[in-house]
Amino acid sequence: MSAPTRRLTVKDVVDYEWCPAKLWFKYYGPRLSWRPRHYTGEERIDHDETVRIVGEALGRGMEECTIIREPLLHGITLPVTGRPDMIAYCPDTCVAVEVKTRRSPWGLAELQAGLYKTILEEQSECRNRETVALIVEDGTARRVDPDRSTIALKVRRALEVLRTRTPPEPSRPSRACRACQYRRVCPYSQE
């Protein structure tokens, strides 16, 4: 995979947060014969139930909202592309929804939903509407309110990682190594 010079995916930024070296290996490491299958939350949770939970969280009926499943969003000033599980375009609100079937560590779900919200704010359809990001899990929804400058900083740092010639040493011993597909080739693996 060749390294992106200007644009990342939301998953890249989440991988960076998981472990900067993991993001580096994703682009410069050996090709792995096994790659994890990517499931979206909506594949496992009933769509109508998700819409009901979102409506409850917003305190509104969803009949007037246009719902699009897994749309591809391109940031305009934020050089990131991503595909949330669902977007609801309601008359006064644009809502990005990420569905999780279990809690992810280290605030990764919050970062993911925060990235979607930041990208959504830049879409022309949402300019005059409130934007909301929701994580749906365990039958409830919680709002994510990211700090835009923190999100932009993480994206910049993730891009910087891909400009280095060697994998960056993680700043903390990573508890993530056991679940990392690069643990056999990574010099920093704790496994």
By the criterion CB under 6 A, which residues form the site for ligand SF4?
19, 21-22, 25, 170, 174, 176-177, 180, 182-183, 186, 188-189
Q: Closest by alpha carbon to 81, among 119, 43, 53?
A: 119
Residue 183 contacts by C-beta under 8 Å, 6 or more apart in sequence? 177, 189, 191
**Least distance between ligand SF4 and beta carbon 6 (Å):** 24
Indicate the DSSP class of residue 5: S
**Least distance between ligand SF4 and beta carbon 111 (Å):** 16
Minimum CB distance to ligand SF4 smaller for 25 or for 89 = 25
Minimum CB distance to ligand SF4 smaller for 7 or for 183 = 183
**Least distance between ligand SF4 and beta carbon 143 (Å):** 29
**Least distance between ligand SF4 and beta carbon 17 (Å):** 11
Structure-token pair, residue 72: 């591809």
User: Could you give the strand order of the β-sheet that contains 8-9, starting from the edge strand earlier in sequence?
Assistant: 8-9, 80-82, 73-74
Structure-token pair, residue 30: 């050996």
Minimum CB distance to ligand SF4 smaller for 43 or for 191 = 191
